[in-house]
Structure 1
Amino acid sequence: MKIFKDQLGVSHFFETAPKRIVSLVPSQTELLSDLGLEDRIVGITKFCVHPYHFKSTKKIVGGTKQVHFDKIKELFPDIIICNKEENTREMVNELRKICPVWVTDIITVEDNFKMIFDFGQLFNCRVEAQKWNDKLAFALNDFKDFIKDKPFKKVAYFIWKDPYMVAGSDNFINELLKLNHFNNMYDKNPEISGRYPEIDLRKIKSEENPDIIFLSSEPFPFKESDALEIEQLTHHVKVILVDGEMFSWYGSRLLKAFDYFKKIHQELGFTFLQN
């Protein structure tokens, strides 16, 4: 019998590595696949879009906030993978009646390394986990070297419309913004607190006057029309559409994110020179 602790500090006991996995977090589904565990994954959410073929080869059991408990139970899982932010406490408590529920808690890049290490131990894929952490560590150091001389810019990162919501403090998006030398105007803002606070768009220019507003592709799919509308309402603050997966997906997706961030900075450098 082996004992493992998840990122909430909950102890789990397994005689052998879990063979039947239900993953209720899209980015972690992708990671499990990249760790060579595709054959063990039996259930996923409708938002688990990577790898693409999973939607036709794996059982869809619902979303990240609401699932079909009966469908999960019928899969006879050995373990269910959840996340503190993505899945609700009520859902996790109900799922624990079916089988052990492993909950991750990812705020920092270091938390991401720990998750991958933990999965390597839990699923007995230590070599693959170490390979991924080595690749991510190399890419992280390379990006830090790339970004070290880049100027800091004040930004707002929008995740939702009607009402407008932004990334605030204590979340992975905010950590990646800081890594990119983007000072999040809603990080520990004394006037507006919370992880994803609602904001009054009409006040954004007068209160903080950001250099850039990022509009994420998820969870709300912002479009060019939204960018134009916000530019007008904020008196032409620069608005950029960004790939939300690159800023909010942890796990193996982070490797692609570093290259994506470099492209953003290269485009921003050219744009600000033009202006």
Structure 2
Amino acid sequence: MQSVKSEKSVIPLNITDQMNRRVVVSFPPQRIVSLVPSQTEMLFDLGVGERVVGVTKFCFHPAEARTSATVVGGTKNFNFEKIEALKPDLILGNKEENYQDGIEQLAEKYPVWLSDISTLAEALDMIRKVGFIVGCKDRADALATEIAASFAAVAAATALVPAAYFIWRKPYMVAASGTFINDLLGRAGYSNVFSHLGRYPVVTAEQLAAAAPQQILLSSEPYPFGEKHVAEFQAICPSAKIRIVDGELFSWYGSRLRHSAAYF
């Protein structure tokens, strides 16, 4: 009898992403390209890092991600030739962090699962769904449960502190309503003085002064705010407390959320 080399069985999995798109994935996927830094870190924490073959240049966590996998460009400028060479059987992207034209081009050839996250609940949903897709349902469920419990244990603030959260300089840009950062600000005990604006608006120094936040939070990313910028904002709002904050703990919606509640 002729011997046949056994291979790990692959099952077509018909699933829905957070954009309500139907995606057919070979289960379990063996060649994953992650186009979102926070989701890259999550994949490694779920124990499937050896199956991640492509990442972005911004996938800093874990440190080995950009050496064990091929860097396929940025979050908004993909190298399609590199991605094609990797022959991915799953690409993970995000509505906000990636660009529509690039995602649509990839979706013509590969299974592309998109997350769409503006709340903690949606982040936990993403963790559970991606965990299921990559064959790590139990680990993902445990991770999501751990994160949910950590936030539930944070005492609710008796009075929210009016604050402004800056993500960019020249021009000044803040996180406003409809963003994941805005949801976490409330959980950290803040009320967003720019919540009447949408998404990531440009604001002027005059608008900031008029909003009169008690605290101004300068994020470490995407703009690398540091102590040298404190005086600049103090001059605009002399009575406000200026704080440099860890942007990853306010905006990364994967496994890094395990550390956010304690930080807040």
What TM-score bracket applies, with the shorter chain setting the length? over 0.9
2:15 counterpart residue number: 4
1:131 deviates by 1.3
Gaps of 5+ in 1: 262-275
SS state of the match for residue 153, structure 2?
helix
Q: Give the 5 Å matches for 1:5-24.
A: 5-24=16-35
| C-alpha distance in 1 between matches for 2:21 and 2:188 | 33
* Residues 119-153 of structure 1, C-alpha deviations (whole Å, 9 max, x = no match): 1221111111111112112212112xx2x244311
1:260 counterpart residue number: 263
1:2 deviates by 2.7
The percent of aligned pairs where both chains have the same amino acid is: 41
Question: Which one of 85, 108, 116 corresponds to residue 96 of structure 2?
Answer: 85
SS state of the match for residue 227, structure 1?
helix
Question: Which one of 178, 191, 201 corresponds to residue 170 of structure 1?
Answer: 178
1:236 deviates by 4.1
1:223 counterpart residue number: 226
1:94 deviates by 1.1
1:264 counterpart residue number: none
* Residues 249-273 of structure 1, C-alpha deviations (whole Å, 9 max, x = no match): 0011111111111xxxxxxxxxxxx
- The amino acid that maps onto 1:199 is V
Residues 202 and 234 in structure 1, CA contact (< 8 A), matched pair in contact too: no
| C-alpha distance in 1 between matches for 2:238 and 2:143 | 44
Paired residues, number: 253
2:86 counterpart residue number: 75
SS state of the match for residue 19, structure 1?
coil
**Normalization by structure 2: what TM-score?**
0.92
* Residues 90-134 of structure 1, C-alpha deviations (whole Å, 9 max, x = no match): 110111133111100011111011111111221111111111112
| C-alpha distance in 2 between matches for 1:2 and 1:243 | 37
1:117 counterpart residue number: 128
Gaps of 5+ in 2: 1-11
1:269 counterpart residue number: none
**Normalization by structure 1: what TM-score?**
0.89
| C-alpha distance in 1 between matches for 2:220 and 2:28 | 36
SS state of the match for residue 197, structure 1?
coil
| C-alpha distance in 2 between matches for 1:226 and 1:120 | 40
Residues 31 and 51 in structure 2, CA contact (< 8 A), matched pair in contact too: yes
What is the RMSD computed on CA atoms of the aligned residues? 1.2
Q: Which runs of 4+ in 1 moved over 6 A?
A: none
2:111 counterpart residue number: 100
SS state of the match for residue 240, structure 1?
strand
Residues 45 and 63 in structure 1, CA contact (< 8 A), matched pair in contact too: yes
2:205 counterpart residue number: 201
- The amino acid that maps onto 2:161 is K
2:163 counterpart residue number: 155
1:271 counterpart residue number: none
Question: Which one of 62, 65, 81 corresponds to residue 54 of structure 1?
Answer: 65
